[in-house]
Amino acid sequence: MTKLIALVDGSIYSHSVCEHAAWIAARTAASVELLHVIGRRETASAPGDLSGNLRLGARTALLEELSKLDEQRGKLAQKRGRAILEDAEAALRQAGKPAGPGEVTTRLRIGDLVEAVAEVEADADLVVIGKRGEAADFARLHLGSNLERVARSSRKPLFVAARAFKPIGRVLIAYDGGTSAMKAVDSVARSPLFAGLDCRLVTVGSESEEARRRLADAASTLKAGGHAVETELLHGHPETAIARKVEEAGIDLLVMGAYGHSRIRSLIIGSTTAEMLRSCRIPVMLYR
């Protein structure tokens, strides 16, 4: 891993994003680019035609005043965006990302978040984003809309930060045999990010020779990468069984594929994945 993108928006989750990005960078020696995107609505003109049936002179004066207000609003949005990036960089360095040329950069964009991420992620290995955004305290049972949009569109692995950072020592890999889950296993086996961590591998389903074989094959890949992995076949619905295991085993990071092998990938995040993001209070690493 050489570079990661950390998305910051000034929400309570932004500090956690920075701390997790610092943790990842410290383990992989990756550089970090902090990205803040100002939505078009934050700099757009005032909605509607407010001139009404005013006389020409009054209408012209009003439109001029509205134009000035729009310009001021745009400047304030950019000033706020730069302040968010400055605070994020300070938090990143405070969390342990060492100073050095090229190690931490900031980027301010105006436009659509998904389009901005698509542009900057081309030379990155990972995108870090908070589970929720600036409306976090008002949407406790919902995923942030930006997270859902980025999760659907990004082509890179996605690290979804929880509300607060805590040291990561135990990792649980949820494995269903799908392509994205196999990528997750392969990445854990190869990446220095997971070196030395307590690694556990689970699958959910009925007891069968096929299920045990798939679990053993995935475990072999992890062992080849130097991991002393524990495996377990869980029973029940994936959403509840995995969440229960996360709590019982004191897991610090959940790793899984973004989609099951039977999901309509271009339309939705896999239902199990979305439920895990909603219910788990720990960070989640998603692979496509």
From the list 137, 194, 150, the residue with the least C-alpha distance to 171 is 194
Strand order in the sheet with 170-174: 104-110, 31-38, 3-7, 126-130, 158-161, 284-287, 253-257, 170-174, 198-204, 230-234
Distance CA 179, CA 100 (A): 38
Query: How far apart are the C-alpha atoms of 218 and 189, rounded to whole Å?
Result: 10
Token pair in block for residue 171: 């990792």
Q: pLDDT at position 55, please?
A: 57
Quick one: average pLDDT of 126-147?
67
Nearest to 173 by CA among 193, 203, 151, 195: 203
Please name each of the domains of the chain with its CATH number: 3-42+78-161 (3.40.50.620), 170-287 (3.40.50.620)
Higher pLDDT, 46 or 200: 200
Query: Does residue 120 carry a pLDDT above 80?
Result: yes
Least confident of 37-46, 69-78, 252-261: 37-46
Average pLDDT, integer, range 57-66: 75
Residue 144: name the closest of 114, 120, 110 by CA. Answer: 114
> Chain centroid to CA 201: how far?
22
Mean pLDDT of the 130-144 span: 56
Residue 245, SS3 per DSSP: helix
Dihedral of the CA atoms 8, 12, 18, 20 (nearest 10)? -120
pLDDT band for 143, please (50, 70, 90 cuts): low
Contact 187, 161 (CB under 8 A): no
SS3 4: strand
pTM: 0.84
Six token digits for residue 164: 């607060």
User: Hunting for tokens 């045999």 — which residue is that?
Assistant: 177
Please give the C-alpha separations between residue 56 and each of 61, 62, 70, in angstroms, as whole numbers.
Answer: 9, 10, 21
Structure tokens at 189: 């086996």
Q: Residues 222-277: pLDDT tens digits?
A: 999 999 999 999 998 888 899 999 999 999 999 998 866 444 343 345 566 777 77
